[in-house]
Structure 1
Amino acid sequence: MIKSILCSICVLLLVGCYTTNKVESVKLEHQDGENPYQADWSSVKKHQTPDWFLNAKFGIYFHWGPYTVPAHKTEWYSIWMYQEGHPIRKHHEQTYGPLDEFGYKDFIPMFTADKFDPQEWAALFKQAGAQFAGPVTEHADGFAMWDSELTKWNAADMGPKRDIVGEMAKAIREQDMKFIATFHHQWKYAWYPTWDENTDASNPEYADLYGPKVPKGTFDFKNMTHADPLPDQKFNQEWLAKILEVVDKYSPDLVYFDNKMNIIEEQTRLDFLSYYYNHAAKREQDVVVTYKFEDLEQGSAVLDLERSRMSEKKSFPWLTDDSIDWNSWTHIANPNYKTANRLIDFLVDVVSKNGGVLLNITPTAQGEIPQAVRDRLLAMGDWLKTNGESIYDTRPWDIYGEGPAEVIEGHLSEHKNKDNTEKDIRFTTNGDALYATVLDWPTEQIHIRAFNTDKLTIKAISLLGSSEVIQWQQLADGLFIQAPKVKVGQHAFVFKVTTH
């Protein structure tokens, strides 16, 4: 026990040393005035969203870690297993035993990833049509998925004993995709009941995993994006140091943040932005940062939604992350996967409104991607092979589309939005090409009111993936397209309208 405690203390001291030096170096860089970005909002807002992101539209990531081992209900297993009265706690105690005997840490040796093949995963992502991809680098659980010098609780030293982030970065780039890293570890603050002496979360030997001692009630279950008291300077520095370590080791093309970053002090958030943007500038690398809600100031990074989308076209680029499973972000025993048709319609709708999609998939703890997930990804890839010109490199048209479907906005609102029909049409454009995507096979004449003779002059119309000659007529009250005779594909159907 003494040896374990001393080891834990040494790890914490190393973290403190690295963190302090790293934060000081960030501040010194900004003081010398030689870097293009300083640690203030006006400076970081000068950073421009790169063309690669505006063109890419579709990416894939995955929630995968020790929380995947129980495969029960949700990726939030790690918090609910400690919550008194919660059904997951009851399940945990019945399945694994009391929390003072089997805590979250004890799932780590069971997270073997023995079938993990980064090259095969990356090839699948490429086949699916993704342009950027990467792992959740650290979830709320405190377990780092990279080879970290800051914490012993990492995938290279425990569990898989492999550098998951590093191996995926290499494999993804070999497939000519951009590499992304996502961070959720601000949630670790008060995630575990470190105040509760009846669980292993209070044991100082495991403080580097479970986080600092906090009073009961610090995690506000009614308003989860807040905390009282707020994290101290040590937690802020550790939060920053982990991100900078990943930036320095792997130079991700996109850094994604989950929400609740507002509990991190403002200057620490600015230190990250300026460091990352300067790091990229030195490498002549075009990078992206995403954020949720108001965790960063508008214009300093790209706004990201979660399980939701915009109801109208926006003048600014945005991203939405959604999971392939309706109920969970990680693999669970009884998944409820979205259909490929739903995923494709979602992508088309989002892109028409100046957005992009980051789709989460759900590998098993052993490192296998379930066949049902593969089938959906390959269906998306097949659709994009035929219709990708209406997605990649496009920009929104004057309006996003037409049709009766109404999108309900709001955090975690996607389940409220119904499937689309043939009456729902979405528009994108690229040069002289205008794309009208009908979100189900047209069984009757298509009428696009916005494509009237006052608005544009049409030269030709074709159906992507088909050699059939399309019959059409443009009038003052819109464009009329006769329903094609032969169905091509199973999902959204794209009419390419050539204008001059």
Structure 2
Amino acid sequence: MKTKILFMISLLSLSASIVTAQTYPVPVSEENEKMAEGVFAPNWESLKQYQVPEWFRNAKFGIWAHWGPQCVEGSGDWMARSLYQEGSHQYKYHVQHYGHPSEVGFKDIIPLWKAEKWDPDKLIALYKKVGAQYFFALGNHHDNMDLWNSQYQPWNSVNMGPEQDILAGWEKAARKHGLPFGISFHADHAWSWYEPSQRHDKEGPKAGVPYDGKLTKADGKGKWWEGYDPQELYAQNHPLSQDSWDNGAIHRQWAWGNGVCQPTQEYCTNFYNRTLDAINRYNPDLIYFDVTGVPFYPISDGGLKIAAHFYNHNMATHKGKLEAVMFGKILDEDQRKALVWDVERGAPDKALEQPWQSCSCLGDWHYNTSVYENNRYKSAASVVKLLVDIVSKNGNLLLSVPLRADGTLDDKEEVILNDLGEWMSVNKECIIDTRPWKVFGEGPIAESAIPLNAQGFNEGAYNKATAKEIRFTQNGQKLYATVLAWPEERQVLIKSLADGNSLYPGKIKKVELLGYGKVSFTRTPNGLLVNLPDKQVNKIAPVFKIN
């Protein structure tokens, strides 16, 4: 049997290798990091062999620590870019509290990130307790700093800042608590993302004085960063992209078109090397890219080689079985066969045949003090609305829970997580291990067209769900109907389960309210009318199990 399996793998590998190779303007070099060979080759046709592992389809809910040096100032996501945008909130905050970006740039914020209270074991134990089935850590962000002992990026968390291997700490804790471990990589876009660091003020006493984005290693003599080259962080030794002074242009150029300055082979290869280095060290079960398709596609083969390496490496470490999950955004139909589609802060308005994931956040992606001060976190009820809707459509939810720079949750986040955990402890059977039903749901939102905006960004529509919205999941013979809020009256009408409805032609023998027990019901031509007890059994949403 073993010989037969190895022979089949060899045949698949051979068939993958003979697919006509496409040439790319910026091919990466494998001189330092050799792509693992195996079943998968670095082209879409070969990657379409991918099958989503059952463990991921069963998991449904993950938590993400989107945490790094950009949390120091507490001014929110993309602060390492925005501090170079004159007049922005983050620019003003940075100038007031840290200094002008011609003198104090993001490189000077990195040493202030100490992670002095970070306890990964305690955090992941909490995440598992509240229902997370997998965990993600940030490997690098667009700020281009690696959060491990990176051999290809001197600007890393072992050499400076916390002086710790952050990924190693997260990975050890995740394995201890039995959670699949994921790493997100975002540094491929530092090339264009950091371009504002090449600017200067247009007004005021510093008008015309360049920011620190073009500094070189020679400029560090006598500074704390002596011996380090700022260009290995900022990657700005290149011309500006078209319309670079337009802060919104980067979004139009995210897929490496529309006038973006083309990155060099050295730059693309460096990201490729760093990503393979982390995959080989930490053996992640999942990897996430904040990209259209795969990194550097369609100008480079780097992202396709990373995908092939990841899948082949994972098979080699799992006795020939593929257990890996890799995410990409804005995927076409063929690409969704090769990767798992990630929808940012949103969801499609229908159930999908292929498993997918929505990534969202309690607040801002990087820690934002104003979100805390102004009570702008999602409530546990809002998280449940999103989670239930996503799962009913064959998706998973990856929820980012921002950490402060010192590595701790704030008190409001802890309350939200505990409330979520309280609901999950009773009702998770309608989430974990389930599959979509014949229809994903009913209600005004379920019956509306809610288009995605670019990567997603339509979750606001689902946050508004009332008790009129019901979502369905199933596990074997058990059907679950979750009402997305408690109704004011003590009855719920489930139209999809009406007497005579072809969706459920069999008899309904029993209806249970999870956390309570059996409840009375009447099946009418208008729907299944379920009676609720006098007292709510949880603070968020009722779940009915129907047999």
Per the normalisation by structure 2, the TM-score is 0.82
Q: 1:195 to 1:482 in 2, by over 3 A?
A: closer
Question: Letter of the aligned partner of 2:239 in structure 1?
Answer: P
Q: 2:184 aligns with which of 182, 185, 188?
A: 182
Structure 1 spans left out of the alignment, 5+ residues: 1-17
The answer to whether the 8 A contact 2:289-2:295 is kept is: no
The answer to whether the 8 A contact 1:63-1:362 is kept is: yes
Between the aligned partners of 1:224 and 1:84, the Cα distance in structure 2 is 21
The answer to whether the 8 A contact 1:195-1:215 is kept is: no
What root-mean-square deviation, in Å, do the aligned CA atoms of Structure 1 and Structure 2 show?
Answer: 2.0
Identity, % of aligned pairs?
Answer: 33
Aligned match of 2:114? 112
Between the aligned partners of 1:217 and 1:39, the Cα distance in structure 2 is 28
Between the aligned partners of 1:98 and 1:422, the Cα distance in structure 2 is 51
Deviating more after overlay: 393-402 vs 439-448: 439-448
For 1:225-275, what per-residue CA distance to the aligned partner results, in whole angstroms no more than 9, with x for missing partners?
A: 144222121111111111111100001110011125564434222111111
Secondary structure, counterpart of 2:233 in structure 1: helix
Aligned match of 1:254? 286
Q: 2:143 aligns with which of 141, 147, 151?
A: 141
Deviation at 1:418, TM superposition (A): 4.5
Between the aligned partners of 1:383 and 1:290, the Cα distance in structure 2 is 28
Aligned match of 2:233? 209
Secondary structure, counterpart of 2:509 in structure 1: strand
The answer to whether the 8 A contact 1:420-1:439 is kept is: yes
Aligned match of 2:471? 426
Q: 1:451 to 1:81 in 2, by over 3 A?
A: same
Deviation at 1:453, TM superposition (A): 3.6
Deviation at 1:70, TM superposition (A): 0.8
Deviation at 1:277, TM superposition (A): 0.5
Tell me the matched-pair count. Answer: 470
Q: 1:19 to 1:146 in 2, by over 3 A?
A: farther
Deviation at 1:224, TM superposition (A): 4.5
| 1:283 aligned onto 2:325 | no
Deviation at 1:417, TM superposition (A): 4.3
Q: 1:427 to 1:128 in 2, by over 3 A?
A: same
For 1:276-302, what per-residue CA distance to the aligned partner results, in whole angstroms no more than 9, with x for missing partners?
A: 110011111511001001388221010
Aligned match of 1:11? none
Deviation at 1:39, TM superposition (A): 1.8
Question: Letter of the aligned partner of 1:250 in structure 2?
Answer: Y
Between the aligned partners of 2:485 and 2:87, the Cα distance in structure 1 is 45
The answer to whether the 8 A contact 2:213-2:236 is kept is: no
Aligned match of 2:514? 464
For 1:71-96, what per-residue CA distance to the aligned partner results, in whole angstroms no more than 9, with x for missing partners?
A: 11x21111111123433223322222
| 1:164 aligned onto 2:166 | yes
Between the aligned partners of 1:436 and 1:266, the Cα distance in structure 2 is 46
Secondary structure, counterpart of 1:189 in structure 2: helix
Aligned match of 2:441? 401
The answer to whether the 8 A contact 1:262-1:294 is kept is: no
The answer to whether the 8 A contact 1:63-1:135 is kept is: yes
Q: 2:533 aligns with which of 473, 484, 496?
A: 484
Question: Letter of the aligned partner of 1:435 in structure 2?
Answer: Y
Between the aligned partners of 1:420 and 1:190, the Cα distance in structure 2 is 38
Structure 2 spans left out of the alignment, 5+ residues: 1-27, 200-208, 218-229
Aligned match of 2:367? 331
Between the aligned partners of 2:370 and 2:192, the Cα distance in structure 1 is 29
The answer to whether the 8 A contact 1:446-1:481 is kept is: yes
Q: 2:403 aligns with which of 340, 350, 363?
A: 363
Question: Letter of the aligned partner of 2:451 in structure 1?
Answer: E
Between the aligned partners of 1:102 and 1:439, the Cα distance in structure 2 is 48
Aligned match of 1:273? 307
Question: Letter of the aligned partner of 2:56 in structure 1?
Answer: F
The answer to whether the 8 A contact 1:427-1:437 is kept is: yes
Question: Letter of the aligned partner of 1:301 in structure 2?
Answer: L
Deviation at 1:355, TM superposition (A): 0.7
Deviation at 1:375, TM superposition (A): 1.4
For 1:368-397, what per-residue CA distance to the aligned partner results, in whole angstroms no more than 9, with x for missing partners?
A: 111211111121111111011100000000
Question: Letter of the aligned partner of 2:175 in structure 1?
Answer: R
Aligned match of 1:385? 425
Q: 1:76 aligns with which of 75, 78, 99?
A: 78
Between the aligned partners of 1:433 and 1:22, the Cα distance in structure 2 is 52
The answer to whether the 8 A contact 2:498-2:525 is kept is: yes
